Copies of this chain bind each other. A is one copy, B any other.
Amino acid sequence: MAAAVTETIMDKALLEIRNALQGEDIETDPSATAPYAEDKSAFSGDARLIAAVLLPETTAEVQSILRICNAYGIPVTTRGSGTGLVGGAIPVRQGFVLSTERLNAIRKIDPIDMTARVQAGVITDAISDAASQYGLFYAPDPASSAVSSIGGNIATNAGGLHCVKYGVTRGNVLSLQVVLADGSTIETGRNVIKNVAGLDLTGLFVGSEGLLGVVTEATVRLRSIPAEIKTVGAIFSGISAACSAINGLFEHNVAPAVLELMEVPQLLAAQPRYARFAAEGAMVLVQIDGSDIGGEIERMTSLLRDSQGIIIDARDAQGDNVDLLNLRKSRPRLPREAIRTHGDVAVPRSAESTMFGNVIAIARQEGLSYTAIAHAGDGNIHTRFFQIPASEAESSDIAERVKRAQSKLFEAALAVGGTLTGEHGVGIELAARLPRQLGEANMKLQRGIKRVFDPNNILNPGKWLDADDGKKG
């Protein structure tokens, strides 16, 4: 299937798909299909690769699409809301885009099982909205949750702020309905917490970035909305002190619902009591949720204070404790013209301080500015290296330095036992670098799995696992 699909074949397939789908479920007008060539990464897709965008409304329609495309060997790139950050949903081969946006029904909220059954195109936050009448919510909360789809979250094993307490997407999915490459449908897992009947295909599909099948429905876990939520912020003299304080919290059995680490925001740096920390200081935000958490908040506040933290006065943060988290969002956005990277390496918590040091050293070596903000309980550091070009001529030099900095960041993360990506995924961004982390024997197994699930290599081909590559290795 490595050869490009001819136009005649594509037309034939499209005709068959037209017979299987509603007329308005197929988009071929280039102005309408073009947006499906992009995601929220820095990669530019090629709109000409999209022969049609297919918008199935039922699992049966997804089955028809895959059965037909599998027969003709036509690439299908599956896509949720397109909020990915690594190019995972950007098609790189001539073919169809399968959008799950019309698979948007919430089938059932079960307050006793504390689960939701949803179609893949349901917006992540919509699950919590629907569950709220039962006092429940869906925990994983990627920054995009207001617009991302649960199917996209599953494809990328999305994380978020609350994962330090509630786990990432993989730990919150109980079962999946998946249409396989040949159009057959399976249900993985069951609507139960404990299940050891067979290999864990549910976990295998989660994070597989559209390479193994098309997830059409999912049963996800819901949690009780906590009775109380409180956030405490503290300023430390530097990253190292902040990391020590964070490790102290875990050592004293604090179970944070959110734990963020970042530079001191400008809003606070302007206040006299924090001014001396403006340059090198670090801010830690800890959220606790549950019932009767007053004592726990006091204990945690003492621990932060004992670690030389200056507790942030809520009035300085212009709001109450819960609003402290807005401080995280109040960080200035990079201007559009900045040439930048966006990495999300994750490292062992014991190496977090070292890794922050690496980020600073790399920025200095390459003469770049940087931002770094961590889901500190998970050792997951989001780093941007950037510079605003003063002239057109400067751009290519900056682009080179930015790229080199990113490369150094990845190597530094691997050197301390970390991973190239904690939340964003592989996509186009890390495809070439993945074997560096996993090693050849591991990659070979992954390629073998891809071949089992997608022997004709129609699912998101040309990415980090390609069934055709597999034939070589």
Contacts and interface: CB of A to CB of B under 8 A. Distances in A.
Interface of A: 110-115, 135, 156-157, 159, 163-164, 167-168, 170-171, 180, 184-188, 190-201, 203-204, 206-208, 212, 224-227, 247, 250-253, 255, 290-292, 295-296, 299, 346-350, 375, 377-380, 417-426, 430, 434, 437-439, 441-443, 445-446, 448-449, 451-453, 464-465
A167 B156 contact: no
Nearest to A295: B292
A190 B378 CA distance: 12
Contact of A191 (B159, B203, B226, B417): B417
A349 B114 CA distance: 9
A224 B250 contact: yes
Given A291-B296, A439-B186, A448-B452, A168 B194 contact: yes
Contact of A196 (B114, B156, B448, B451): B156
A239 B113 CA distance: 17
Contact of A200 (B194, B195, B206): B206
A348 to B, nearest CB: 5
Contacts of A379: 192-194
A452 B465 CA distance: 15
A217 B430 CA distance: 27
A200 B418 contact: no
A295 B295 CA distance: 11
Given A157-B196, A186-B439, 14 more contacts: A110-B348, A112-B348, A192-B379, A193-B379, A196-B422, A197-B421, A199-B204, A199-B446, A201-B445, A201-B446, A203-B204, A224-B251, A226-B253, A449-B452
A227 B252 CA distance: 9
Nearest to A294: B292
Given A197-B434, A207-B199, A438-B197, A192 B250 contact: no
A159 B159 CA distance: 25
A417 B197 CA distance: 13
A453 B204 CA distance: 15
Given A112-B247, A208-B199, A253-B224, A445 B186 contact: yes
A192 B344 CA distance: 13
A449 B453 CA distance: 9
A255 B114 CA distance: 13
